[in-house]
Structure 1
Amino acid sequence: MSDSRPRAGQPTDEVAALRRDRDEARAELGRTVEELGHKLDVPARSKEKAHEAVEATQHVASEAALAVADKAQQARAGAADLAHRVAAAAPEPVAARGRQAGGALRAHPIPAALGAAVIAAVVWQIVRRRR
């Protein structure tokens, strides 16, 4: 007759399963305690969120700066192209007067700015009275 009892010193399958369950429960409990500790560490979480926000803002700002630089370069190229086309299409006496006026504006920028401001104020008054 065979003995169905385990021999002394050898665990049964049931005992091994219970030990595995115990070890899994311990590991799960450790993970849960670690997660709770992280959730309760408000200063550290606040610092993480602030750091993430700063990084996102820096990324957006650098992309915006690149886009602005690109648009400025396109505008400069377009303005230079337009200036060349106008200069080529203008008759020589008109072009000479334009160069002379540009030289006068560069030589005396403050009076030119004041004159432009006066003209702008007059135009503004006229538009305002018409309404």
Structure 2
Amino acid sequence: MEVNTMQRRKGLEEKIPEIEKSLSMVEFIMNREDTENPIETSFELYDTLYTQAEIKQPDKVCLWLGANVMLEYTLEEAKDLLESKLKSAKQSLENAIEDLDFLREQITTMEVNTARTYNWDVKQRRLTKSA
């Protein structure tokens, strides 16, 4: 359980900055709606492959949802979706941290009780042997 929870925590810690980055980009695009100058940028096509692009007055964005799924959203819908995903990811991270703390306490309690039981057994064997 501890390993599974730690993996979930690690995944969430990697996921949250990506969601925040996507959210900040959507907000940046929303704030530039009233300007006529296009945004010049380079974006990643693949791990080591980038290309240049000009973005002119976008009203929709595409978001990766995972499992090779990408959907097109309006800027407002994308912002709402990313904010809700960020909130739930942060809540899940808090829960994972609490679960890890609880598991560590339980493991320590179990180890102490196991040691006490072993010591009690050793003491009982010595008493039986001496009697």
Could you tell me the TM-score, scaled by structure 1's length? 0.37
Bigger radius of gyration, 1 or 2? 1
Higher relative contact order (CA 8 A, sep 6+): 2
